Structure formats: C-alpha cells, structure tokens
A and B are shown apart, each in its own frame.
Chain A
Amino acid sequence: MSKKKGNAADLAPSRKEKKGIGQYILGFFLLLYTLFCFLPVLLVFISAFTDEKAIMNNGFSYFPEKWSTAGFGSVLKYGSQLLTSYGITIFITVFGTFLGLLVMSMYAYSMSRKDFRLSKFLSVFVLIPMLFNGGQLSGYIIFTSYYHLKDSLWLLILPLCVTTMNVIILRTYIANSIPSELMEAAKIDGAGEYRTFFQITLPLLKPSMAAVGFMMATAYWNDWQNALLYITSDNKKPLQLLLVNIQKSIEFLLNNTNVPAAARAAMGGNIPQYSATMATVLVVIGPIMVVYPFFQKYFVKGLTVGSVKG
C-alpha cells in the first residue's frame, strides 16, 4: 500500500486546491491543537528558568515575574548522581537498542528463509508472547528469586530487547523490500550464510532498523517501571528513576507532618523545589526532543510498514 506511493511520510499528494477562507479556518484549528500539544512542553522550559519564589507566590506561569537559572544550580547539586544516571540511561539505551536490533534482525532473517522448515515454528514462537503473558507479578518473582537478577542492569535491558511487533516489522521489510535473488546471488558467488546476512541483508535493512531502533531507544530512555521494580543501588539508577524518586521525596515531606523539624532542617538542602524539579525534567526529556525530528521520517515509514503484514 505505502510502497506503491513511495514515502509514506510524505503528506498526501498535493491536489490543486483553492486557498480559500476555509483553509484559514482549518489552519486556525490545527494551530490550536498544536498549541495544546506543545504548550505543556513549553511550560517545562519556562518553569525551569523561573525564580523559585515567583512560583511559590504566583504559581506556575508562562509569564513569570522573575527569571532565574538557580533551578539548574540545584540540578547540579545532584551532581555525580545525575551524571551517573545519565551514564546508565545512555548505556542502556545504546546497548539495548543495538543488541535488540542485532538479535531481532537475525531472527527475522531466519524466519523469512522460505525453504527453512523451522521458520514456521519461529513465527509462532515470536507471536505467542503477544497473545499471552505471565504478567508483572510472575515476571517479578521469576526474575528476582529464580534468576537472582535483582538490582542488575540486565533487567533494564532484556525485557525491552525483543518484542513481537518489532520482529514482525523487520520480517515484513525483509520479505517485501529485499529481493531474495540478491541473497541467492551472493551464495552462488561463494559467500557463506553469515557473510550473506551481515554484508548483503543487514545494510539493506537500514531504513527499517532506523525506525525500529528509534522506537526502541525511546522505550529504553523512558522506561521507569523496570527501574522502579528492580534497581536499588544508586550507581545503577537511570534518569527516569531519579524523577520518580524526586516525586516520592516531595510526597514524603508533604504528607508526613510528623517529620521532626530537626530532620526537616537537615534535609532542607535536599527538598526538591519547583524550578529545580522542572530543570531536572528538562534535562531528562531534552535529548529526545533534540534527536526526534531527525528520525521522524524513518519511524513514520516504519509504522506504516509494520501495520501491513507482508
């Protein structure tokens, strides 16, 4: 469907239409919706640069009374923890995405070999987890008390590594867009199975891998749930867990009026403040905002390919 029309990321072929008043009304509504989507994100930027007192007195605002960069100063107070968390998140995202792309494309490639009798089994095997799964509780108990992986980075990497949908997307791309004659020709020229895959198939898979890879990277970057369930030591905390913890400590201080005054004072320096919290949020979501526009065309295309089973 999308293949015939070329790049699905393109908007509909431009038809000759009048730029009448109707178009401007339509444009107005689209702009409204765009603002609805974007303004909340903008608020993060503005609050991060707002003076703490201004927020305390007047609440969050798009037009703050006083600007300040003090929020970022407080972010630096997390200092080494923030750096560590950044490192962990980047490591998990990069390593997980590449590992996932490699193992899934190999799997998808094997699955798409036509005269391979086991390929039927492989496709059923990858499909079943989409239909049926053990749920969070059973996974939690198996991973922690049988695999003994509590507090291990593997539990941030492996659960998001191989997903049914991504395997199907890659398989569809191999089946539809990579001529099998190419692989056969390589074999006739004496290339082994592995060489055929790594030197012929893998390079041709790039567009599909860009799409899948970006979606995976986002999933890794944004994963808070596995971190919350499994990670306990500070030096393994990813960024999202840092955010969750900030929220938890705010909650704790607000809800526990019986925290002794002395303890409060002792923690005084660490009570997360509004602008500082927003600055942290900005630091966490920033990289995706920056990278995303470059990948937009790939994942839009990948989404379409995935929706149409080959």
Chain B
Amino acid sequence: MKSFLKNTWKHRAHVIMALPAFLILFFIMYVPMAGLVMAFKNFDYSKGIWASPWCRLDNFKFLLASKSTFITMTRNTLMYYVIFTALGTFLNVVLAIAIDQFVFKKAAKTMQTLMIIPVFISYAAVQFIVYAFISTDTGILNKTLGMNIRFYSTASWWPLILTIVKMWNSVGYGSVLYMSVLAGIDTELYEAAEIDGANKWQKIWHITLPALIPMVTVMLLLSVGNIMRSDTGLFYQVTRNSGVLYPTTQVIDSYVLNAIFKNSNFGFTAATSFFQSVVGLLLMLFANGMVRKISPENALF
C-alpha cells in the first residue's frame, strides 16, 4: 500500500493528465449507468430517479405483457443485425478483393475515394436523398418505372430499402480495413503459387481468402457485442419515423428515442433499456472470450 502511494505520488503528473478525460467519462458514461436502476422503480419526474419508489419487477411485467411492441422491436433489432452483418461482411470482403485485384491502381484509388463518401453523410441528410428516390409523387423510382408505389406507407418494402441504404452507406468504408490486411500479404506467396501453376481464382481461394479469415472472425465477434444497438439514424431518420412502418422498422434504440420525446411510459422504456444494456454486456463478454481463444492479440481485454 505504501509503495503504491509512493508510486502514485511519483506519477502525480500522469494522474493530473488523466484527470480531465477521467472526469468526462465518469459524468457522461458512468453516472447514467447508475440511472439504470430506474428499471426497478416507479419513476416520477418530480421525485427524480433516486427518490422514486421501488416497484420490484413490475416494469418487466409490462414488458412481457405488451408482447407485440417489445417482441417486434427486439425481433427487428436482431433481424437487421443479422442482415447487415452477414451481407455487409460479405460485400466488404468481395469489394476489398476486387479492388486489390484491379491492376489500374490510380483508377482504383479514385473509385475508392468516391465509394467512401456516403459514410460521411449524416442520416439527417441521407433521408432527403432517399426521399428523392422513392417518394410517391416525385421519386425517381416511381417516375422512371411509371408506377405509383407508396413506399412511405408500405412496411413490407422497408427491410429491403434499409438494407440498400445501409450497404450504400457502409460497404466502401468497411472494405478499407480488409484491404489493409490484403496489402500485408507477402507477394512471394503469390509468386510461388504462380510457379506451381495456380490460376487467378485458385490464388484468391488459397491465399487471399485464408489471409482475411482472422480479421473477419474478429470483426464478426466484436460486432456481436453490439447486437442490441442499432444505427439509430437509419431507423429514425430514413424512415421519417413513420408510425405505419414501425412493424418492420422500429428497433430498440429508435423506440427509446421516441419514448423520450413523448415523455411517456418511463417504466416500460427503462425496463427495455435495462434489458438492452445487460444483454449487450453478456454478449460482449462472450464475444471477447471467443476472440481471446481464437486470436488473443485481437481481444479487447
């Protein structure tokens, strides 16, 4: 203990330097964690979080009682996670290999720059672009096809629309990570394969893909920890938060955001938040444990 204090005193400059970020983390991230006790309280705005009376598991009973809302949003959250992750990873890898194989490097670079642009456009702006394509009266799609599809009031279109928007937004950027792995492959491997008479596809299959597998595994596992969280902007902005579309577009995050604005149903929302945080934690621990088994140097902790 004494040597610990001595060590800390010796490093007092480092303590002071770490302090600002420490305090920001504490007040912005840690204090709200304590706020999760709301899930077990009958929240009353005038009393605040701590003074509101306890209500044990009543809020969770609400959760289970209101099956449709809770189940729909949890199902949507999971469904979009699976679609986005599976398709996204596949496209990231395909695009990375395609750019890597392309011999006109200057053109590849320019195209890559354009492919990454969408990730820098906020969803608040993206929704106007999406509207320009699919609105009923003025949308390019309806005008070109000479049809009159009412996208903004037909829920069944939205899994497709949101998937396209999400891929448009993230694939170009996501592939950069994999390209940096490809850049690290020893060229001698390819040369040796060539001498052995391997054709292009065999080289991709036996050298390029295996080289990507560790990174793919790690990225997939780490994303597991975020299953319960969604890209809120995508679901809130791009769908224009339209109630008709909720059956296929409402995810936990957008539900909570709406609940805050409507200022209602705090018990239910708090229980949902609690569920989201705890499941997220468990999945994250699980994912990290798996990564640690497979490739310890990529584990988060």
Q: Is the CB of A308 within 8 A of B297?
A: yes
Whole-angstrom distance from the CB of B122 to the nearest CB of chain A?
Answer: 4
- From B24-32, B63-71, B74-82, B154-162, give the one contacting chain A: B24-32
Check: B101 CB closer than 8 A to any chain A CB.
yes
Q: Is the CB of A26 within 8 A of B101?
A: yes
Chain B residues in 8 Å Cβ range of A222: 120-122, 124
Whole-angstrom distance from the CB of B217 to the nearest CB of chain A?
Answer: 13
Check: B300 CB closer than 8 A to any chain A CB.
yes
Q: Is the CB of B284 within 8 A of A130?
A: yes
The B interface is mostly helix, strand or loop, or mixed, namely helix
Q: Is the CB of B17 within 8 A of A8?
A: no
Q: Is the CB of B257 within 8 A of A23?
A: no
Check: A107 CB closer than 8 A to any chain B CB.
yes
Check: B132 CB closer than 8 A to any chain A CB.
yes
- Knowing A37-B115, A40-B118, the reply to whether A139 touches B17 (Cβ < 8 A) is no
Q: Is the CB of B114 within 8 A of A5?
A: no
Check: B125 CB closer than 8 A to any chain A CB.
yes
Whole-angstrom distance from the CB of B251 to the nearest CB of chain A?
Answer: 12
Whole-angstrom distance from the CB of B178 to the nearest CB of chain A?
Answer: 10
Chain A residues in 8 Å Cβ range of B284: 130-132
Instruction: Select which of A118, A138, A309 is within 8 A of B38 by beta carbon.
Output: A138
- From A14-22, A68-76, A174-182, give the one contacting chain B: A14-22
The range of chain A's interface size is 35 or more
Q: Is the CB of A142 within 8 A of B115?
A: no
Chain B residues in 8 Å Cβ range of A218: 120
B250-261 vs A, CB cutoff 8 Å, 1 = contact: the mask equals 000100110110
Q: Is the CB of A14 within 8 A of B105?
A: yes
Q: Is the CB of A132 within 8 A of B260?
A: no
Chain A residues in 8 Å Cβ range of B180: 2, 8-9, 300, 303-304, 307
Seen from chain B, the residues whose Cβ lies within 8 Å of a Cβ on chain A are 4, 7-8, 11, 13-15, 17-18, 20-22, 24-25, 27-36, 38, 45, 48-49, 95, 98-105, 107-109, 111, 113-118, 120-125, 127-129, 132-133, 135, 137-140, 142-143, 168, 172, 176-177, 179-185, 187, 190, 200, 215, 218, 225, 232-233, 237, 240, 253, 256-257, 259-260, 266, 269-270, 273-274, 276-277, 280-281, 284-285, 297-301
19 contacts between A and B (CB under 8 A): A37-B114, A43-B129, A58-B143, A106-B20, A107-B22, A110-B11, A118-B18, A124-B301, A125-B25, A127-B300, A129-B30, A132-B281, A137-B256, A192-B13, A224-B124, A225-B232, A274-B138, A288-B121, A308-B298
